[in-house]
């Protein structure tokens, strides 16, 4: 496996669907180590109707959600048997920094690196980029339910 996943495989791993599915493709994946995924941002996104009319900016919380969904894909590909049928949810966000706005036409590239896994908790170092510019960074923690 080259670590690339298309939307059909993403659907098989995430419970999210339109308008809340925020990962379009996985570019690389090394189970237990790291993942790189993309979200293509278009003006057709429902949230741009109100955020902000005339000045569309992707909400920061949705960028964090896209990173979290990338983390779920990473976890489920790292431990497919242990997480089969399980739901992963946010358990924490540390050191969140919003560096630049994300606008229609951007391609959000999310790089996540595993920090540690302990019991039901997964902790990941997450960075999102547009082109080579860092737009958001955070340490995200997910919990298995």
Indicate which residue of 16, 25, 51, 117 is catalytic.
Answer: 51
> Is there a domain that residue 37 lies in?
yes
Name the CA dihedral angle for 116, 117, 120, 123, rounded to a multiple of 10 degrees. Answer: 30
> Is there a domain that residue 66 lies in?
yes
pLDDT at 2: 75
Element (H, E) at 116: strand 107-118
> Is there a domain that residue 2 lies in?
no
Total of domains in the chain:
1
Report the chain (145 residues): mean pLDDT per 10 consecutive residues.
89 95 98 98 96 96 98 97 95 98 98 96 98 98 96
> Is there a domain that residue 81 lies in?
yes
Please state, in angstroms and rounded to a whole number, the distance separating the CA atoms of residues 83 and 95. Answer: 27
Q: The domain that contains 45 carries what CATH number?
A: 3.10.129.10
Q: Is 16 a catalytic residue?
A: no
Q: Which residue has the tokens 């960074």?
A: 137
> Is there a domain that residue 116 lies in?
yes
Which domain does 96 fall in, by range?
7-144
Question: What global pTM score does this model have?
Answer: 0.96
């Amino acid at each position: 496996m080259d670590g690339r996943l298309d939307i059909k495989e993403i659907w098989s791993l995430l419970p999210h669907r339109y308008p809340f599915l925020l990962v379009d493709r996985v570019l690389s994946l090394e189970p237990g180590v790291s993942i790189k995924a993309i979200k293509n941002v278009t003006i057709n996104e429902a949230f741009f109707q109100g955020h902000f009319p005339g000045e569309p900016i992707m909400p920061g919380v949705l960028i964090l959600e896209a990173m979290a969904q990338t983390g779920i894909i990473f976890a489920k590909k790292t431990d497919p048997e242990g997480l089969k049928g399980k739901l992963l949810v946010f358990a924490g966000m540390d050191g969140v920094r919003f560096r630049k706005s994300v606008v229609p036409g951007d391609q959000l590239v999310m790089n996540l690196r595993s920090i540690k896994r302990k019991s039901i908790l997964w902790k990941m170092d997450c960075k999102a980029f547009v082109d080579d510019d860092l737009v958001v960074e955070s340490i995200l923690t997910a919990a298995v339910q």
